[in-house]
Amino acid sequence: MLFVIYSKKDLIRVINDPEHPLTLEELNVVVESNIKVDDDKNNVYVEFVPTIPHCSMATLIGLSIRVKLLRSLPPRFKVDVKIAPGTHESELAVNKQLADKERVAAALENFHLLELVNQCLSKRATG
Amino acid sequence: MYQSLKEIQKLSGHTDQVWCVSWSPSGTLLASCGGDKTIRIWGKEGDSWVCKSVLTDAHTRTIRAVAWSPCGQYLAAASFDATTSVWSRKSGEFECLATLEGHENEVKCVGWACTGNLLATCARDKSVWIWEVTADEEFECASVLSTHTQDVKYVKWHPTSELLASCSYDDTVRLYREASDDWESCAMLKGHSSTVWSVDFDKDGHRLVSAGADASLKIWQEYEPGNTEGVSTPDNISVWKCVCTLGGHHERPVYSVSWCALSGRIATASGDDSLCVYQEMPAEDAKNAPKFDIAVRQRGAHSEDVNCVSWNPVEEGLLASCSDDGSIKVWQVQKE
């Protein structure tokens, strides 16, 4: 169980911010206490904090987290990615979009959007 | 009354998530579609279901839904590539007859009216399109209905009249009918607290069931002008009221609901990997306060989200489901 949490944390911490030359962990967008894993019930719940309350990239960041988890976890896991309560002005709208599997599936068939997500998920040279 | 589902067969073949299964009107063929951009047609050989044909090359993105015409000769498929294809099997083989263009983006669902003369499609562009089928097998847009304020997820025609229902990411269900010259939205059904994913009419079409991301089901009853209950019907148009809400059985969104015309049972498919079957129970006032009991709760029906469930229109108790796990399953309800 602990192993799962830590490895997951490792998965998310390396996601790049679309606008900054930093990772989501470095920007405190995703902190460990906001990742919850229930290995028995196959649930993974992640809350993230956009850098600013009107961050226009919130959906892209959430989508990148979701995609990273979908690609990395066994398919038995149900993944919920949400904005931490009170940290974004369009919190409910973004959460609803991120929870809509059909929209996520369609977004991932959109070449341009997929490229943006992949940029967030690509390994960036450190230095 | 406890019942169970017996898994008759698991059908493998799709190479990606399966979004939709649809029985032909005669109940002998099952069409399926999904993320692998193909349509598969399944039929029974001896005691088992086998893949009879694979329809490819019509769409460049996910095929979200398939629907048979009432005569069983045509199959329509809605795709994320913004088009809808119509196939004919009059020659014995499935041939792509037409590709309907017009939606701005992902087409989510398609359905044929009971007469076979009309087709409806809906899309993320928030619109519902009505298409007329001409005598020489052409399809002309008859109306574009833009009453939903968000992504339209699903369309379903009334079983005996040209009344259309749609449901949306805007949390509502809408009904449409043809009025004098054009189509109009004639009712808005509000009650769900999140996206409504699916709707279905009962056998007679005086009741509608809706299901959605709030994990609940709602039964809506039609009150026609002059109804004995005294429900007022402004403009002489039927009013639909929620008479029953069913919740607490699914833990995640309900993606699909199917109301069996033969048995009156309601089946649901959910993102919690399970299927449920509801049975109507005798009630003092069955019209205004119907009672439904859960008859089956099939946990782990699939190993991932169940996207669609559909009752066979001819063989009572036969059910098909499909899932993100890439499989389709055929089930039989068993009374215990």
Question: B96-130: per-residue pLDDT in tens?
Answer: 999 999 999 999 999 999 999 999 999 999 999 99
pLDDT value, residue A23: 80
In whole angstroms, what is the distance from residue B39 CA to residue B86 CA? 12
Q: Which two tokens stand for residue B307?
A: 């996207």
A27: nearest Cα among A4, A58, A59, A67? A58
- The answer to whether residue A4 is domain-embedded is no
Q: Do A78 and B194 touch (CB under 8 A)?
A: no
* Tokens describing residue A24: 């989501």
A3 pLDDT band (50/70/90 cuts)?
very low
- Locate all alpha helices (DSSP H) within A1-127, ordered by sequence: 2-13, 58-72, 91-99, 101-107, 111-121
Q: Which residue has the higher pLDDT, A25 or A85?
A: A85
In a domain, A39, yes or no: yes
Judged against a pLDDT cut of 50, whether residue A125 lies above it is answered with no
Q: Is there a domain that residue A82 lies in?
A: yes
Task: For residues B174 and B153, give the distance between their C-alpha atoms in angstroms, rounded to a whole number.
Answer: 12
Spell out which residues of chain B touch residue A101, defining contact as CB-CB under 8 Å: 271, 305
Choice between B211 and A123, residue whose per-residue pLDDT is larger: B211
What's the whole-number mean pLDDT along residues B148-158? 98
pLDDT at B242 over 70: yes
A14 confidence band (pLDDT: 50, 70, 90): low
Compute the distance between CA of residue B153 and CA of residue A54 in angstroms, rounded to an integer. 28
Q: What is the pLDDT of residue B236?
A: 92
CA–CA dist B3, A110 (Å, integer): 44
Residue with tokens 């007022």: B232
Confidence at residue A127, expressed as pLDDT on a 0 to 100 scale: 35
Integer Cα distance of B154 and B198 in angstroms: 6
Please give the average per-residue pLDDT across A49-75, as a whole number.
91
ipTM: 0.94
Higher pLDDT, B145 or B1: B145
State the nearest Cα–Cα gap between B80 and chain A, in angstroms: 7
HSE-up of residue B270 (Cα within 13 Å, Cβ side): 28
Please give the pLDDT value at position A19: 78
Yes or no: say if A12 and A65 are a contact pair by the CB < 8 Å rule.
yes
CA of B283, closest CA in chain A: separation in Å?
Answer: 36
Distance CA B228, CA B14 (A): 51
What pLDDT does residue B69 have?
98
Per the structure, the complete domain to which residue A96 belongs is given by 9-121
Total domains in chain A come to 1
- Which position has the higher pLDDT, B156 or A70? B156
Q: Is B324 on the interface with A (CB under 8 A)?
A: yes
Q: How confident is the model at residue A105 (pLDDT cuts 50, 70, 90)?
A: very high
What does the radius of gyration of chain B's CA atoms come to, in whole angstroms? 19
8 Å CB contact of A96 and B169: yes
Do the domain assignments include residue A94?
yes
Q: Say if residue A90 is exposed, middle or buried (CB neighbours under 10 Å; 0-12, 13-18, 19+).
A: middle
What's the pTM? 0.95
Under DSSP, the state recorded for B236 is G
Q: Does residue A113 lie in a domain region?
A: yes
The lowest-confidence range among A21-30, A55-64, A92-101 is A21-30
The answer to whether A102 faces chain B, any CB pair under 8 Å, is yes
B139 has a pLDDT exceeding 50: yes
Residue pLDDT, tens place only, B265-284: 999 999 999 999 999 999 99
Read off the DSSP letter of residue A85. T
**Which domains does chain B possess?**
3-335 (2.130.10.10)
pLDDT in tens, B175-234: 999 988 899 999 999 999 999 999 999 999 999 999 999 999 999 999 999 999 999 999
Element (H, E) at B268: strand B266-270
- Chain B residues within 8 A of A96 when measuring between CB atoms: 169, 194-195
Residue A1 lies in a domain: no
A contacts of B124 (beta carbons < 8 Å): 103, 106
pLDDT of res. A9: 59
Q: Is the dihedral of CA A59, A60, A64, A65 positive or negative?
A: negative
Share of chain B above pLDDT 70, in %: 99
pLDDT the model gives residue A16 = 79
CATH code for position A50:
3.30.300.130
Rounded Cα distance between B307 and B325, Å, is: 10
A127 within domain boundaries: no
**Does residue A62 lie within any of the structural domains?**
yes
Tens digit of each residue's pLDDT (9 = 90 or more) over B284-318: 999 999 999 999 999 999 999 999 999 999 999 99
